[in-house]
Amino acid sequence: MKKIGVILFFATFVCGVYPANAARGDFDFDRWNALMDSVRDAATAKKISGPTIDATLKNPVFIPRIVYNDKNQSEFKLTLSEYLRRTVSAERVKSGHNMAKKYPTLLGKTHAKYGVPKHVILAFWGMESNYGAVKKAYRLKDAFFTLMYDGRREKFFTEQLLSLMKIADKNGADINDIYGSWAGAMGHFQFIPTTLSQYGADGNADGKIDIINNVSDAMFSAGNYLNKLGWDDNQPIARRVLIPSDFDDGLTGGDKKYAITQWGKMGVLNADGSPLTATNDVVGLVAGADDDGANLVASPDNDVEMTTMRVAYLTYPNFYRIKRWNNSNWYAIAIHELSEKLK
């Protein structure tokens, strides 16, 4: 078993893309073999079946490109405007409307069962996999072994691999046929194995949960996850507003929450430049950089004088539920913008 794993590693070394600053001799074969042994012991303790354990440990491959990707996720940073142009494109909106026409019944059932509206499910689907168009990249077991070996988050990725093995066992699937992203996410809504184990739902009542090949399972699983996060169908995600160009950036990260009345007193305006309606709803505020989407609007106190304002968003509780799915302000705003276009 160990010998085969080492041989496959050499094949990947030759064919894979490896970081230029690492030498072939740096690879620790003893560590690789020890990881395989520890997975066998942990899987046996969790009562995972012998065939699934054997399949998992048969020829796992170390993929240098995955280590490179993991260490270089933030090579550049997009402004909010740039991010929205990339994620909420006209093509993605068009595809979303097409999917709404293709799956009206399934979207309706998901809404009825989990309380998450159609346009929100479609927005997540579009953001996560471009409605299933994202191609399978890696065998997930190889991604997890590689990231475990890298060591930065060994415990987390070991947990993911063991969870994937349980999923394969439960669904009678061959773990060698389960593919996903380099980071270990899979399917239409890009769930990691522990998320799938906890929130996966059987959308077509066949006794299995397949979020990779079955849209019903994928959509029900997404709806179930958002429902368990506390999704409130009666609340918005966010709404676009304007703030003065010199507004305190320390208040625009979404972590400071005040009543809308208070935000209004700080100079926040509706998107059309009119004063906010005073309410006691407690919300956050998120905005991009100073030069990220400036608008020239009439001062509410003077119809003649023009004031430079910045685009911002008042963020409601559903916004923060999205951030438990993906902890990014930009991502949550993109879900809001895309879902609004898909209503």
Q: Which two tokens stand for residue 64?
A: 């240098």
Q: What is the pLDDT of residue 319?
A: 98
Angle between helix axes 215-228 and 317-325 (nearest 10 degrees) is: 130
Under the banding of pLDDT at 50, 70 and 90, the label for residue 6 is very low
Q: What is the pLDDT of residue 301?
A: 54
Q: Are 85 and 93 in contact (CB under 8 A)?
A: no
Q: What is the pLDDT of residue 27?
A: 84
CA nearest neighbour of 181 among 202, 208, 160: 160
In the predicted structure, residue 229 carries a pLDDT above the cut 90: yes
Please, which residues bridge with residue 238 across strands? 315
Q: Are 113 and 220 in contact (CB under 8 A)?
A: yes
Mean pLDDT of 192-196: 97
* Whole-number Å distance between alpha carbons of 179 and 325: 21
In the predicted structure, residue 338 carries a pLDDT above the cut 80: yes
pLDDT digits (tens, 9 = 90+) for 113-137: 999 999 999 999 999 999 999 877 8
Under the banding of pLDDT at 50, 70 and 90, the label for residue 308 is confident
Average pLDDT of the residues of the chain? 88
Under the banding of pLDDT at 50, 70 and 90, the label for residue 4 is very low
Q: What is the pLDDT of residue 271?
A: 93
Mean pLDDT of 95-106: 98
pLDDT digits (tens, 9 = 90+) for 63-89: 999 998 888 765 457 889 999 999 999
Under the banding of pLDDT at 50, 70 and 90, the label for residue 306 is low
In the predicted structure, residue 152 carries a pLDDT above the cut 50: yes
Query: Distance from first CA to last CA of the chain, Å, rounded?
Result: 54
In the predicted structure, residue 292 carries a pLDDT above the cut 60: no
Under the banding of pLDDT at 50, 70 and 90, the label for residue 143 is very high
Instruction: Provide, rounded to the nearest whole percent, the portion of the chain with pLDDT above 70.
Output: 86
* Whole-number Å distance between alpha carbons of 188 and 181: 11
* Whole-number Å distance between alpha carbons of 41 and 44: 5
% helix / strand / coil in the chain, to the nearest 5?
50, 15, 35
Q: What is the pLDDT of residue 136?
A: 78
Under the banding of pLDDT at 50, 70 and 90, the label for residue 5 is very low
In the predicted structure, residue 17 carries a pLDDT above the cut 90: no
* Whole-number Å distance between alpha carbons of 204 and 221: 11
> Among the residues of 202-257, which ranges form H helices?
215-228
CA nearest neighbour of 172 among 209, 214, 217: 209
Q: Which of 16-25, 33-42, 127-136, 156-165 has the lowest mean pLDDT?
A: 16-25
Q: What is the pLDDT of residue 293?
A: 53
Q: Which of 59-63, 223-227, 339-343 has the lowest mean pLDDT?
A: 59-63
**3-state SS class at 46:** coil
Q: What is the pLDDT of residue 56?
A: 97
In the predicted structure, residue 240 carries a pLDDT above the cut 90: yes
Q: What is the pLDDT of residue 2?
A: 40
In the predicted structure, residue 247 carries a pLDDT above the cut 50: yes
